[in-house]
Each structure stands twice: as structure tokens, then as C-alpha cells.
Amino acid sequence: MEARKSLNVSIEKLKKEVIEMAELSFENIKGAFSAFKNASHSEASKILKLDDAVDEAEEAIAKHALRVIWKEQPVATDLRIVTAILKMITDIERIGDHACDIAYMTTQLKEIPHEKIVGLATKLMNTLESMYYITIEALQTNNETLAQKVIKEDQEINNVFKIALKTITEMLKSDLIEAEEAVYSLMILKYLEKIGDHATNISEWIIFTKTGVHKRTELY
């Protein structure tokens, strides 16, 4: 009984650490997006300095998870949760990297982006923010239904990105945007789209903790 209680405490602590890391990564994304909308090089430079904290969180959680496996020897659902956490933190770390990617591209912009691009980027960001916080709630509550909702919402992210790609292409053809701005803006939008993919990956691992199945493949 004591061993089981200790394992439950360890797993809950691990989940709390993952949630804190996820929130930190997304705060960096929001900061990078704000810098992009304002073409603020100073804001972007600050974001570039924040990635170390995300990397350090990933390393600390990985070490903690491995200690739990070694000391607590979890099985069945408990082992699935710890295994999934080791996978999730890789995606969360990549989200932190994308914050830096967006910030770096922002430092290359010479002026505030075109209003059409800002509008599409804002739509992407709003959907992404909703999607990301549902992901965190799904992790907190181990809720398969919420995780499935995130996976479905990723399609909206993909649709908006396709519209953005078409819009920027048409703007280039009509000389409504400089080629340099178009390239940097499109890359920023692509990084936002990739964050949706990472949120989907995290949700798929949440489903795995409940079912033992990952992307139609039964693992354990």
C-alpha cells in the first residue's frame, strides 16, 4: 500500500512538472508572437534568451521519470504514463524551440507585417492557444475525450495555414508585399502550424496512457 501511494505521488509530481514546462513553452510562444505582430526586435531578443529554461526543464523531468522507473518499478497504466511523459517533453521542448525560431525571424523583419498576414497569424494563434490549453487540461485530468478534441482541432490550424500560403503567394504576384517579408512571415506561420502538430503528438500520448495504443499501434 505504501509503495502504491509513493508511486501515485511521484506520477502526480511528474505530471505537474510537465504541465509547468508546457505552460513555460507556450508563454514563450505568446511572447514571440507579440514581438512578430509589432516587429519588435527588442521583444524578440528577450525571447531568444529564454530557451535555456525550457531545455533545463526537459532534462530535469527526464531524469525524474527515469528515477521513477528505477525506484518505483511501475507497471501497466502507471508505466504507460511515465513512458508517455518521456515522449511528451520532447514535443514541448520543440515548441520552445519554435518560440526562438519565430523570434529570430522577427529580428529579420524591417517593419510591421502586412495587416492581412497579421490577421491570418492571429487566427492561427487564437486557435492554437485554445488547442494548447485543452491539451494541458487533458494531461491534468487524463481525459481521452479532450485529447481527441485537440487532434480534431489541428485540422483547423492546417486549413488556416493553407489559406495563409495562398494569400501570401497572391500578394507576391500582385507586388503587395516584399519577397523578404513574405518569406520570413511564411516561415513564422509555418512554425505556428508546427506547434499544432506538437500539441497533437502530446494528445496522442495522452490517449496512449488510457488505451496502450499509439496511432493505431498497440504498444502495451
Q: What is the CATH number of the domain that holds 47?
A: 1.20.58.220
Q: What is the dihedral of CA 133, 136, 142, 147, to 10 degrees?
A: 50
pLDDT above 60 (res 220)? no
Lowest average pLDDT, out of 113-127, 151-165, 205-219, goes to 205-219
User: Residue 201 is part of which domain span?
Assistant: 2-218
Q: What is the pLDDT of residue 212?
A: 82
Q: What is the pLDDT of residue 218?
A: 60
- Greatest CA span in the chain, whole angstroms? 71
Mean pLDDT in the chain? 91
Q: What is the pLDDT of residue 73?
A: 80
Q: What is the pLDDT of residue 59?
A: 97
Q: Give how many domains the chain has, as a whole number.
A: 1
Average pLDDT on 79-103 reads 95
Cα end-to-end distance, the chain, whole Å? 24
pLDDT above 70 (res 165)? yes
Average pLDDT on 76-99 reads 94
Q: What are phi and psi of 217, to 5 degrees?
A: -105, 120
Report the alpha-carbon distance of residue 110 to residue 96 in Å, rounded.
24
Residues 6+ apart with CB under 8 A from 125: 30, 33, 192
Helix intervals (H) in 39-178: 41-48, 51-72, 76-107, 115-141, 144-173
Q: What is the pLDDT of residue 10?
A: 86
